[in-house]
Amino acid sequence: MSQAPRRIGMIGAGWVTQYHLPAWAAQSARATVVAIADPSAAAGSARAAEYAIAANYTDVRAMLAAERLDAVDICAPREAHAELVRLAADAGCAVLCQKPLAMDLGAARQLVADIGGRVPLMVHENWRFRPHYRTLRRWLDEGVAGELWQVQLEFLSSGMIADGQGNRPALVRQPFFRTLDRLLVMEVLIHHLDTLRFLLGEFTLQSARLERTNNDIVSEDVATVLLQRRADGTPLVVTGNLATHGAPPLPSERLRIFGKAGTLELDGNVITATGAATRRETFDTGRNYQESYNQVIARFLDGLDGAVPFETSPDDNLKTLELVEAIYEQAGPVVVR
């Protein structure tokens, strides 16, 4: 007898749910979002109407009390994550929680300890699930690059440069960037650090410098980080800059992995291998972005079905948060330009 679709409660109706909800819809045979909770009744109503969600709440506790839920998908702002995970666990719900689990490493460690094994818990860290990164990982496993020498990652955007009307595109697109006390590393580069761990293993921080380019934000929009691969000492340089002249307003990334047998490169939506083996694949950027959400939610359900362990488990995510915390500690106060 086939299992009835799991009943899912969504917590949050903000920007990111435009990607979560299609991903859940793609899994309609296995799960259905039956309720949504957001303090904004208008935001919740809009999402509920768009995706035929039966129940809409302005209070998470009310939703958890009233609905018979198998799992919740936490898409709320990061400052609420720890409290919401605890509430869901107390209600006996499995939890998929957007990264990060908590506001800092210490709080995340305490949360993981508090939850223990009471309910299944997976972190929604989707960057590593983008198809081009899965392909790069396969190429690495096949030895296309060979022994590694150097790794460089650039994440560049002009989004923090004001236009003729004084607007900064990055802040128009994501206004909450203005008040984040940890911006570029905790909100954005955390994805890349996690993906680099997925591709290459664990790293140790060597040095870090954080800078702020404008007074419309309170924290860093420029980061320079030097890491060392624990397995063999391979150096990795991460450069993040949201105020790069000549870059597009929407961020673009370039990853180069230099090895004895070849060079692997991601440049925008194209990945190539040059050297002993020559390969090239082009990806649809927009489709890749949605596919990463699709894959996370599919893997969450696979984990609940017992088919596979959670790849982005809390313990795995804590290792990414350890790197993030080390960067902030090493860098010290943000340098104001």
Q: What mean pLDDT comes out for the span 254-283?
A: 97
Can you state the angle between helices 105-115 and 81-90, rounded to 10 degrees? Answer: 0
pLDDT at 251 over 60: yes
Mean pLDDT of the chain: 96
| Tokens 């299944």 found at | 120
Q: What is the fold of 6-124?
A: Rossmann fold (3.40.50)
pLDDT of residue 7: 98
pLDDT of residue 189: 97
- In degrees and rounded to multiples of 5, residue 43 shows phi and psi of -65, -45
Hey, which residues does 129 pair with through a beta bridge?
none
Question: What pLDDT, in 10s, does the model give residues 168-198?
Answer: 999 999 999 999 999 999 999 999 999 999 9
pLDDT of residue 285: 84
**Beta carbons within 8 Å of 234's beta carbon, 6+ residues apart:** 148, 149, 150, 151, 200, 228
Contact (Cβ atoms closer than 8 angstroms) between residue 89 and residue 116: no
Residue spans of beta strands (DSSP E) within 27-182: 31-37, 55-57, 71-74, 94-98, 121-124, 148-156
Question: What pLDDT, in 10s, does the model give residues 13-70?
Answer: 999 999 999 999 999 999 999 999 999 999 999 999 999 999 999 999 999 999 999 9
pLDDT of residue 2: 58
Can you state the angle between helices 41-50 and 17-25, rounded to 10 degrees? Answer: 30
pLDDT at 270 over 90: yes
Question: What pLDDT, in 10s, does the model give residues 256-267?
Answer: 999 999 999 999
Instruction: Give kind and range of the element (H or E) at residue 272.
Output: strand 270-275
Instruction: For residue 170, give the 3-state DSSP assignment.
Output: helix
Q: Give CA separation, 107 vs 82, 192, 321, 322, in Å.
A: 8, 22, 11, 12
Tokens representing residue 138 in the block: 């396969």
pLDDT at 307 over 90: no
Share of the chain above pLDDT 70, in %: 99
Share of the chain above pLDDT 90, in %: 95
Domain boundaries, the chain: 6-124, 128-284+319-336
pLDDT of residue 45: 97
pLDDT of residue 1: 40
Q: What mean pLDDT comes out for the span 216-225?
A: 98
Superfamily of the domain at 128-284+319-336: Dihydrodipicolinate Reductase; domain 2 (3.30.360.10)
pLDDT of residue 3: 80
Q: What mean pLDDT comes out for the span 145-157?
A: 98
